Each structure stands twice: as C-alpha cells, then as structure tokens.
Amino acid sequence: MDIEIEYLPLSEIVEADSNPKDHDIGQIYQSIKRFGFTQPIMMNENTGKLLAGHGRLQTLQQMKQAGEKTPNRIKEKDDEWLVPVLKGISFEDDMEAQAYLIADNRLTELGGWNTGELVETLQDLIEGGLDLDGVGYDFDDLESMVNQIDDTGIFDVDVIPDADDEETSVKIVVGRYRFSIEPENFYTWEEKISEMLGSRDSDEFVEWIQEALGFK
C-alpha cells in the first residue's frame, strides 16, 4: 500500500492503546503556534490507531477545546479540525507496531547535540531579532549551556586587525551577550592590558578576561 496523507477529523483520531512517552504539551503548543502544524501524525492501517504523533494530537485537542484559532496547515470544516495523517503504514502484528512506537520516540533522544554549535545558532537567532518561542529552548537553557562550555568555548579568540585597517567596529562576544565598540577604544584598552601583562599573547589575554569576569 502506498503512503499518502489524508486529512481526518480531529475527533475521530484514536491514540494507541499504550504509549509510555510523556510529552511537553506546553512546548509543542508554542511550536505549533509559531510554525504551524508541520509534521503529519502517523496511523497504523491494521488498527486505525496512532503510531506516532500523540503529543501533537493531544496539543491540538487542547487547543480546539480552549477555542484557539485553527493552526496553520490544519483545515477546518463544519467546526471540525481536519488533521493531516500519514496513512499506508502497517506492521505484521500489534507487538511490532508497539515496538515501532517506542523506537520512534526513543531514537530521536539518542543523537544528542553539539552544544557549541547549538549555542552559536541560538545566539544568531537572538542577534537577528528573533525570539526563542516554540524552539524548545529559552534564555535560561542558553545561559546554562554557555556555562557548561569549557573556557575555549566561551570566548572565540580571533586575530584582530591592526588599528590602521579600515574597520567600523570590534565585536565582543561573551556567551549570549554581544556588543560592538569603536576600534580606537578597543585598541587603547588592548594596549593597557598588554602593558599590564607584559605580553600580547592571545591565550594570556583570554585568561585575564576570564578571571576579570569571574569565570576562573
């Protein structure tokens, strides 16, 4: 049987008999509010019950009951929400279907994250003027991840051009805090610290900054 997407009434979609996975309905709600309903739920053709998408289904049910506006990509007909459902998938028996349900939830948990890249990406979103609603991370999460990164991950040490170079500003990044200062002011400060340290070594500069900010 070919896989296809069919819009079914929300009230007629039945959950699996057993689903041991807990869902953060609040986070799913924020995601659907911001991005719309982007991932169809999956039905077992043998039983007519869900294989995947229980958290999204429960969130839609609560939104409908609360009188929320119909989310993007959810259709509406005669006051009924129509939900995109992936059909055409079946298994040999109910036990195999239950095994898939667990695998679908578990496998996404096993991959982990590259914390450094994640922090940088979230910072870029914030710097671009976007908020983190519906992303699954908030500012407290970001701050916690920054604190977990080792010293070299908190400060990116780049070779800074000489003051003679045409540069409009110098960007300073400390965790999720980013700001720019005039090059002249930066180089004046750099010269003072160099004289105090007796060195212009980048590693020594970073170590001094970390100590000054209380990270060491």
Which of 63-72, 83-92, 131-140, 145-154 is the least confident region?
Answer: 145-154
Contact 58, 23 (CB under 8 A): yes
* 131 token code pair: 């908020």
Q: Smallest Cα–Cα separation from 42: which of 81, 83, 94, 71?
A: 83
Per-residue pLDDT at 1 exceeds 50: yes
Map 53-96 to HEC letters.
CHHHHHHHHHHHHCCCCCCCCCEEECCEEEEEEEEEECCCCHHH
Question: Can you tell me the mean pLDDT for 121-145?
Answer: 89
Over range 80-105, report the average pLDDT.
94
The dihedrals phi and psi of 88, each to the nearest 5 degrees, come to: 105, 5
Res 66 pLDDT > 60: yes
Q: What is the pTM of this model?
A: 0.68
Contact 1, 88 (CB under 8 A): yes
What does the mean pLDDT of the chain come to? 85
Domain boundaries, the chain: 4-110, 114-148, 150-216
Please tell me the distance from the alpha carbon of residue 191 to that of residue 46, in angstroms, as a whole number.
74
Higher pLDDT: 134 or 211? It is 134
Report the distance separating Cα 90 and Cα 48, nearest Å. Answer: 10
Question: What is the reported pLDDT for 136?
Answer: 93
Percent of the chain surpassing pLDDT 70: 87
Q: Are 208 and 193 in contact (CB under 8 A)?
A: yes
